[in-house]
Structure 1
Amino acid sequence: MKKIGSLLLVAVFAGAITLGAYKFFFEKPNFAIISQDNGSRVLTTSSYTPTSARGAGINEVDFTSAAESTVNAVVHVKNVTLNKTPSNIIEYFYGSGSTPRPQVGTGSGVVISSDGYIVTNNHVIDKADHLQVTLNNNKTYDAELIGTDPNTDIALLKINADRQLPYLAFGDSDNTKVGEWVLAVGNPFNLTSTVTAGIVSAKARALGRIDQSFIQTDAAVNPGNSGGALVNTNGDLIGINTAITSQTGSYVGYSFAVPSNIAKKIVEDIMEYGNVQKGILGITPPRLSSEYAIKNGLHNIDGVYVESIEEDSGAYDAEMQTGDIIKKVDEINIHTSSDLTGYIATKRPGDQVKVTVLRDGESLEFDVTLKERQTIVIPVIGFEVKNLTEKDKKTFRTKKGVKIIGVPETFRAYDLEGKVLLSFGDQEINNIKEAKTLFGRISRYGRASITMLTEKGEKERLIIQ
């Protein structure tokens, strides 16, 4: 019996050794890797070919959950403007009997709070006499305009609904990557909420202005989509659809959205301060298409070349210099002016940023505190003016007024540059904001008197008409 047991034990060991040898020498290995991605467990076979965490292609991406969470938070915005233009020659000459005719414009909006705040484009609601919002369930409400920022083309509306509304929270557009799948949701051609898909084609795009910074996508956007949502596959609001470039006015391949970080900051400023708080770095880049920029190779620089620095600005106080090349702000790499503009647009006066520059081949860092803009071009007459510095106040012996630092060719002969603008008519001017407001009242065919102060303490008056 003992002999049988010994033979059985030997047989078991021999079989185990044989099986192990086969597995080791002849059978091809097959490994599985378990990885963690956004809280979900993903099983993938090993490969030396890089693959996207979100899937290799469109067939692996599921848009349904993002679409379901978005469509009910996107609304239809109707802009009604009363057109008082005469309809016939009699009304044109006599002006009697004419009845204002309503003109209707439409667009989209995104509900951003359960109590009815809605973000849209400024051009969707511009010059409206009456605003209406229709939800995805076809209920219509009158809307109140809370505030606008024409520069970024963002406007904030408010409706008083009879229930809590589905809404979208702002995502972080800085984390958006080129090539990432996105959905555009809006109301093109007066249809109810419509979803189109595409990818992020580029970031920090400018459409002819250096102070713009758009997300570019190839998701189809058409008339009526303006003010709608751009979301990623998680359903995060990463942009407000704003513009297309097209010779026909309809979609031809690319569309543009205001990044959510900029839109969020604009909305928060309007709600908290009643206006937009703009912090500036205080540097001016060159026009890259200019002969000077091309001749000196500035149009080929990777970064933002500092052509000039505004006096009494954050960059001035931090001792940045003309000729510095801005390469990074905080953790954002800067390649173009739009990169810089887009990030600074999310900041307010008083915020501090770390600016990394290249100076004579050496990398330097500066802690810069952003300030309010100290210069402005006042409307109608086109003077460039700036707030008085402490040095200016001592030089001109005044605490009021704004300094004229630039004039258009029309006024060159009057020797106005360098003088302090004290008043508009009988109203004193204390800062550039007041100057902008007062000069905005000049009618096209009206006239106004302005009072100026020279360094010698002499007052001069000029009649503008």
Structure 2
Amino acid sequence: MTSIAIPQGQAQVSPRQWFTALFLGIALAVTQAASAKATPETFAPLAEQISDSVVNITTSTTVSSRTGPAPQIPEGSPFEDFFRDFMERGPGGEADPAPRSRAALGSGFVISEDGFIVTNNHVIQDADEINIEFYNGEQLPAEVIGTDPNTDIALLKVTSDAPLQPVPFGNSDEARVGDWVVAMGNPLGQGFSVSAGIVSARNRALSGTYDDYIQTDAAINRGNSGGPLFNMDGEVVGVNTAILSPNGGSIGIGFAMSSNVVTKVVDQLREFGETRRGWLGVSIQDVTDDIAESIGLENVSGALVTDVPEGPAQEAGVEAGDVITGFNGNDVVDTRELVRRVGDAEVGTEVPVTVYRDGEEVELSVTLGRREEAQAIRTAATPEEVPQSDETELLGLTVSPLDEELREELGLSSGMDGLVITEVADDSEAFEKGIRAGDVITEAGQEKIASASDLTARVEAAQEAGRKSILLLIRRDGNPRFVALPVE
């Protein structure tokens, strides 16, 4: 508390001076209080508040005692009978070696009084038994309610005679770089442990489609996986998932999946036992500077549609070459943002989608499907050698028209038009951008092409329009992508 001394004696203090001094005193007190909150003298009260809600997780998995591939012995070898007997009976002479149990450790936290617990999917994956240990030493078996490998989140359930102590989720979007955070878990199997640090960065992406990680320098080690990352109000703002380390130990670079992603996943696992994400039904890629220039798009943002298979987007009128600039009332910055927004949307809802097409914005309405039901892997044969005939050189590429034989070799649908690339100049920009022999050009300048003359005409049209580049739709192994190549 800051006190303000009022001068006594002969000097007279005007009301204005007195209120000014009072205001400065209050401002100083608020500043000191904020400073004290930003740099706590101890984390002990917070640790005591959260300890009963954090759990250690031990799993056991039954695995075969014989691991690794069997040795390959040539037929007729004098050692053939010996090795067959060795592999069938085992090195100790036992007829069927007994399987063994493998244990794993992790962490988690309670989110409800009736026993729901959150952890990482990789902590409990393939486990035969899951044991939960509480801070007071009590142990309970757990069952798996649901998992989501895409975000590495799992929801467990235990049955307890007494209500458990849950912790609330916080708003991870409010976590600022530099804010204090506390991690609690079971590092390296040493038991309950607390570490403190700050938010080092936000919105980190590692390798997943729905990644939104908080980076922290709070010590996170093996065994911390699935444990909570708390803010100073005792709210969970992240689930500790991964570390960046050359030696397996903490070097101050840890990652926690943000709570705003986790809560959506947990709600669905709790209700359905599985995730139900929205599905738009398009293949997309980021818009680059040269792609934006080639189609006259003013801002380098949005998600460029490369393919529209049968599905919600096709039914709504989305076309390959469209740039999705808005989804459900929000601007789309890039493909990552669009994927997350679509995934967060409710299955079956009708949402407005804004696309940029032929220099204008077009408003469409799409009824979302369910991603989990629509996912499929499309495979196509990759030719070992592409026959070369009727070749034309353009844009650093040597191209040849498609015929039925080539379509069959490339795994393309009958009747698909385009140009197959038979050679790419090593010093060309096309080579630098990843175009290779065997790729197929199906569109140029956002128009379908069937011959080299079509491609030449589209290049000349781009030059006449003052374009610096032309947009090509390239297909490889059944997967389309747009590439912009210079025409100057």
TM-score w.r.t. structure 2 length?
A: 0.61
Decide whether the 8 Å contact of 1:302 with 1:336 is kept in 2: no
Query: Relative to 1, partners in 2 of residues 1:181 and 1:25: Cα closer, same or farther, differing over 3 Å?
Result: closer
Output the CA distance in 1 between the equivalents of 2:32 and 2:16.
34
Q: In structure 2, the residue corresponding to 1:197 is in which secondary structure?
A: strand
- Please name the residue that 1:92 is paired with: 87
For residues 35-93 of structure 1, the C-alpha deviation after alignment (integer angstroms, 9 at most, x for no partner) is: xxxxxxxx42399xxx7995388525764443332221111111111221328986633
Output the CA distance in 1 between the equivalents of 2:222 and 2:42.
27
Deviation at residue 315 of structure 1 after TM alignment: 5.2
- Please name the residue that 1:267 is paired with: 266
Query: Relative to 1, partners in 2 of residues 1:272 and 1:58: Cα closer, same or farther, differing over 3 Å?
Result: closer
Deviation at residue 337 of structure 1 after TM alignment: 4.0
Output the CA distance in 1 between the equivalents of 2:161 and 2:181.
32
> Are 2:225 and 1:226 equivalent residues in the alignment?
yes
Structure 2 segments unaligned to the other structure (5+ residues): 1-7, 69-82, 294-298, 385-406, 415-488
Query: Relative to 1, partners in 2 of residues 1:87 and 1:274: Cα closer, same or farther, differing over 3 Å?
Result: closer
Of 382, 393, 417, the match for 1:409:
382
- Please name the residue that 1:307 is paired with: 305
Deviation at residue 210 of structure 1 after TM alignment: 4.2
Output the CA distance in 2 between the equivalents of 1:356 and 1:180.
37
Output the CA distance in 2 between the equivalents of 1:126 and 1:52.
48
> Are 2:64 and 1:69 equivalent residues in the alignment?
no
Output the CA distance in 2 between the equivalents of 1:152 and 1:303.
25
Decide whether the 8 Å contact of 1:221 with 1:251 is kept in 2: yes
Decide whether the 8 Å contact of 2:107 with 2:224 is kept in 1: yes
Deviation at residue 170 of structure 1 after TM alignment: 2.2
Deviation at residue 220 of structure 1 after TM alignment: 1.6
Decide whether the 8 Å contact of 1:309 with 1:316 is kept in 2: no
Output the CA distance in 2 between the equivalents of 1:227 and 1:165.
18
Over aligned residue pairs, what C-alpha RMSD do you find? 4.1
Instruction: Map 1:17-416 to 2 at 5 A.
Output: 23=14, 29-32=20-23, 43-45=26-28, 55=35, 58-60=38-40, 63-86=43-66, 92-94=87-89, 96-286=95-285, 296=291, 303-308=301-306, 310-311=308-309, 322-324=321-323, 326=325, 335-351=333-349, 369-373=367-371, 375-378=374-377, 384=378, 407-409=380-382, 413=408
Output the CA distance in 1 between the equivalents of 2:205 and 2:274.
24
Deviation at residue 273 of structure 1 after TM alignment: 1.8
Query: Relative to 1, partners in 2 of residues 1:220 and 1:351: Cα closer, same or farther, differing over 3 Å?
Result: farther
Instruction: Map 1:380-459 to 2 at 5 A.
Output: 384=378, 407-409=380-382, 413=408
TM-score w.r.t. structure 1 length?
A: 0.64
Output the CA distance in 2 between the equivalents of 1:114 and 1:227.
19
Decide whether the 8 Å contact of 2:226 with 2:239 is kept in 1: yes
Deviation at residue 103 of structure 1 after TM alignment: 1.1
Output the CA distance in 1 between the equivalents of 2:226 and 2:116.
13
Query: Relative to 1, partners in 2 of residues 1:349 and 1:133: Cα closer, same or farther, differing over 3 Å?
Result: same
Question: Number of residues paired by the alignment?
Answer: 359
Decide whether the 8 Å contact of 1:189 with 1:223 is kept in 2: yes
Query: Relative to 1, partners in 2 of residues 1:28 and 1:159: Cα closer, same or farther, differing over 3 Å?
Result: closer
Decide whether the 8 Å contact of 1:120 with 1:227 is kept in 2: yes
Q: In structure 2, the residue corresponding to 1:44 is in which secondary structure?
A: helix
Output the CA distance in 1 between the equivalents of 2:17 and 2:35.
33
Deviation at residue 416 of structure 1 after TM alignment: 6.7
Decide whether the 8 Å contact of 2:292 with 2:300 is kept in 1: no
Structure 1 segments unaligned to the other structure (5+ residues): 1-15, 35-42, 379-383, 385-405, 420-465
Deviation at residue 165 of structure 1 after TM alignment: 0.8
Query: Relative to 1, partners in 2 of residues 1:60 and 1:157: Cα closer, same or farther, differing over 3 Å?
Result: closer
Query: Relative to 1, partners in 2 of residues 1:56 and 1:147: Cα closer, same or farther, differing over 3 Å?
Result: same
- Please name the residue that 1:423 is paired with: none
Query: Relative to 1, partners in 2 of residues 1:295 and 1:75: Cα closer, same or farther, differing over 3 Å?
Result: same
Decide whether the 8 Å contact of 1:213 with 1:338 is kept in 2: no
**Structure 2 counterpart of 1:407, one-letter code:** A
Decide whether the 8 Å contact of 1:265 with 1:347 is kept in 2: no
Decide whether the 8 Å contact of 2:328 with 2:351 is kept in 1: yes
Output the CA distance in 2 between the equivalents of 1:346 and 1:165.
30
**Structure 2 counterpart of 1:114, one-letter code:** E
Query: Relative to 1, partners in 2 of residues 1:53 and 1:46: Cα closer, same or farther, differing over 3 Å?
Result: closer
